[in-house]
Amino acid sequence: MSNADTPVQAVILVSCPDQPGIVAKLAGALHEVGGNILDASQHTDVSSRTFLQRIHVSWPHDSPEPEAVQEAIDETAAEFEMTWRIRWQQSPRRVAIFVSRQDHCLHDLLLLQRDGALQCRIPLIISNHKDLEEVADRFGVPFHHVPVQGSVDEDAEAGQISLLSAHDIDLVVLARYMRVLSPKFISQYESRIINIHHSFLPAFAGGRPYHQAHVKGVKLVGATAHYATAELDAGPIIEQGVIRVSHRDSVTDMERKGSDIERTVLARAVRWHLEDRIVVHDGRAIVFD
């Protein structure tokens, strides 16, 4: 997996019924296979009595045998009725960005990835319009125009899924992609589609949220990054942000102020997903520090 001079790292996410001794047993199991815990965060959901943990592990002197790590954790998992997964951090994950006509979130993601702040590869951008092809060209990312006749366009989705499969995509980011995806599409990438909605959910779900906010005379507008689910704008919330507005602000003013929140909220959510900091439990996104 690596040579002796290159540290091998992995992130392990675990979930099991809460009980004493879990942390010690996991630490011991990793120690037995030469693992060094760099950091660990845990959370206990009291209502369901569920223990959740994220463990960042390093093997600084030699490459571990994945089978040995698997066996060591499986033994502990069996004892505690634990579900778990591990991601070895050898290669960045592959991210596809879906866009329509607005470019602020796209620009931010491409800049962060170019500068190394997002540890991923972006093999393609997919859009239902051609407006942002020039942006993709400037960053050297292949741009694919897939016309969409309306939300839940089966023919368009078949083409999109074919592109995602061909590029072995791990994560789909809806960076102000103004179309609804079908439940069939979403089920193929469960907890792997991040959407940015331009309101502080659950307020003003659906279309034209800034117009809805203006009518209500709200004093705060916001943005919400969440995992996409079959129910529109109702998936597990990863991150949110707000900014103050007043009665003097028009809808255009709100949109301008909100765009700054949208890009930062989306970027944080994408980064946390790439760093394996998120566990979805009982419909909620648990985000580890």
Q: Which residues have a catalytic role annotated?
A: 233
Amino acid identity for residue 225 in this structure? A
Angle of CA points 248, 253, 254, to nearest 5°: 95
282 in Cβ contact with 272 (< 8 Å): no
- CB neighbours of residue 26 within 10 Å: 27
- Distance between CA atoms of 266 and 63, rounded to whole angstroms? 35
How many Cα atoms are found within 13 Å in the side-chain-facing hemisphere of 149?
Answer: 5
Nearest to 172 by CA among 195, 145, 146: 195
| Sign of the CA dihedral with 75 first, then 78, 81, and 83 last | positive
Six token digits for residue 207:
């279309």
Cα-Cα-Cα-Cα dihedral sign, residues 133, 157, 233, 171: negative
Strand pairing of 8-17 and 237-244? Answer: unpaired
CA 40 to chain centroid:
20
The answer to whether 7 and 62 are in contact (CB under 8 A) is: no
Partners of 41 in the β-ladder: 54
Angle made by CA atoms 96, 101, 106, in degrees to the nearest 5: 40
In angstroms, the CA 5 to CA 10 distance is 16
